[in-house]
């Protein structure tokens, strides 16, 4: 067996900072400074070090770096699911933003379950992430306690509560839902049904229901329990929910859906029921993912700033992590997208 004290005894062993220092004829401190552009190093020295590092194929050992610097240059994000394109796209934007600053992203999913989310927060913290991104703002105090105990930077995406004690980067779910409902009412619809995601642990879904309710109330209408169905965010669930609404004695002339996937399900239900959209009934989605224009008729929906949220989350977090100053919250605009699935009421 090779003598441990003999340098480069094992050729398979990855080169370490000492190997680089030796080859460059400098100290390990100088190598570290050169490669991290921290502290001053003469340009000529840096060149020499870089050459040596390249020659050896040196990559800093992650564990050593993390241990010594107490930073991992890693950010963790927990989203409900990767299967909804809206989150996938936001995550992609986040990752690209972080990558520009040599920070990598650890992604975990909660399946919309608070207990899983909290477990994932624990995992990420154990992984030593330097920052965390979460979706929504409603969760158990214990979850926030975990984050706060470490004093770790974290931002909440997808909602924009008025006086949050946390940094939020999102949009006004209530307002967007209120707005779209108003537009539907302007088309003459009066019997309106809604298919929502499960609101229990989902403030976005909850706020959207509230926005619809309020808009109806503003017009002297109301969203009765019969007109509202909650279900999982899946095509099949949306279809079933729509079937239920369509089975009512007075079926709605317009169905507002918590997202585009549910709306696609509602379209399928309409077709199965022999109803034509929008002539017999209108269907409205939320998110404006690609699916919205893949179905027929294309879905009227609300464009959610997923990409901008992802980018902003990355920028805010980086600022916070590096400069140590807590960034402000940010509210982004949404836009109603009118398409053929919304027609005038007959």
Partner DNA sequence: TTGAAAGCGCTAACAT
Partner DNA sequence: ATGTTAGCGCTTTCAA
Assess 268 for contact with a copy of itself (CB under 8 A). Answer: yes
- The single residue among 54, 271, 326, 346 that binds a copy of itself, judged by CB under 8 A, is 271
Residue 109: contacted member of DNA, a copy of itself, none (CB under 5 to 8 Å, by partner type): a copy of itself
- Quick count: other Cβ atoms within 10 Å of Cβ 329? 18
**DSSP code of residue 80:** S
Q: Is the bond into 278 cis (omega within 30 degrees of 0)?
A: yes
The Cα 292–Cα 284 span in angstroms is 10
Q: Does 89 bind a copy of itself (CB under 8 A)?
A: yes
Per the CB < 8 A criterion, the answer to whether 304 and 171 are in contact is yes
Residue 7 in the binding site for DNA (CB under 7 A)? no
- Output 30 or 72, the one with its CB closest to a copy of itself: 72
Rounded distance between C-alpha atoms, residue 255 and residue 184, angstroms: 10
23 sits near DNA (criterion: CB under 7 A): no
How many whole angstroms separate alpha carbon 48 and alpha carbon 31? 10
Among 19-27, 36-44, 289-297, 321-329, which window interacts with a copy of itself (CB under 8 A)? 289-297
**CA distances, 34 to each of 18, 58, 64, 73, 192 (Å):** 14, 13, 17, 18, 65
Shortest approach of DNA to residue 63 CB, angstroms?
7
The nearest distance, CB 99 to a copy of itself, in angstroms, is 8
Within residues 28-47, the interface with DNA by CB under 7 A covers 28-33, 35-36, 38-42, 44-45
Residue 108 and residue 79: Cα distance in Å, rounded? Answer: 6
- In contact, 15 and 56? CB cutoff 8 Å: yes
106 binds a copy of itself (CB under 8 A): yes
Q: How far is it, in rounded angstroms, from Cα 332 to Cα 316?
A: 14
- The smaller minimum CB distance to DNA, of residues 68 and 200, is found at 68
The contact set with a copy of itself (CB under 8 A) reads: 12, 14, 57, 59-68, 70, 72, 74, 81-83, 85, 88-89, 91-92, 95, 99, 104-109, 122-123, 125-128, 149-151, 234-235, 261, 264-265, 267-268, 271, 290-291, 293-296
């Amino acid at each position: 067996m090779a003598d441990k004290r003999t340098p480069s005894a094992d050729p398979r062993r990855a080169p370490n900072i000492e190997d680089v220092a030796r080859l460059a004829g400098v100290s390990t401190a100088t190598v570290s400074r050169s490669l991290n552009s921290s502290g001053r190093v003469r340009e000529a020295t840096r060149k020499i070090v870089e050459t040596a590092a390249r020659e050896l194929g040196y990559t800093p050992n992650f564990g050593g770096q993390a241990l010594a610097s107490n930073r991992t240059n890693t950010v963790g994000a927990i989203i409900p699911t990767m299967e909804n394109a809206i989150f996938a796209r936001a995550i992609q934007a986040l990752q690209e933003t972080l990558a520009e600053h040599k920070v990598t992203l650890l992604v975990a999913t909660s399946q919309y379950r608070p207990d899983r989310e909290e477990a994932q927060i624990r995992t990420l913290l154990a992984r030593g992430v330097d920052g965390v991104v979460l979706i929504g703002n409603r969760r158990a105090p214990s979850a926030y306690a975990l984050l706060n105990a470490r004093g770790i930077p974290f931002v909440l995406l997808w909602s924009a509560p008025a006086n949050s004690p946390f940094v939020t980067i999102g949009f006004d779910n209530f307002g967007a839902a209120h707005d779209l409902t108003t537009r539907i009412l302007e088309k003459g619809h009066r019997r309106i049904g809604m298919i929502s995601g499960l609101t229990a642990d989902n403030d976005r879904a909850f706020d959207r229901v509230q926005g619809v309710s309020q808009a109806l109330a503003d017009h002297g209408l109301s969203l009765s329990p019969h007109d509202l169905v909650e279900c999982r965010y899946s095509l099949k669930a949306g279809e079933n929910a729509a079937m239920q609404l369509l089975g009512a004695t007075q079926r709605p002339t317009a169905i507002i859906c918590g997202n585009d996937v549910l709306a696609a399900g509602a379209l399928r239900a309409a077709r199965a029921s022999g109803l034509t959209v929008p002539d017999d009934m209108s269907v409205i989605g939320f998110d404006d993912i690609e699916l919205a224009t893949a179905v027929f008729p294309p879905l009227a929906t609300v464009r959610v700033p997923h990409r901008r949220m992802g980018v902003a989350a990355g920028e805010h977090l980086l600022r916070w992590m590096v400069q140590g100053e807590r960034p402000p919250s940010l509210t982004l605009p949404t836009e109603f997208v009118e398409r053929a699935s919304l027609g005038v009421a007959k």
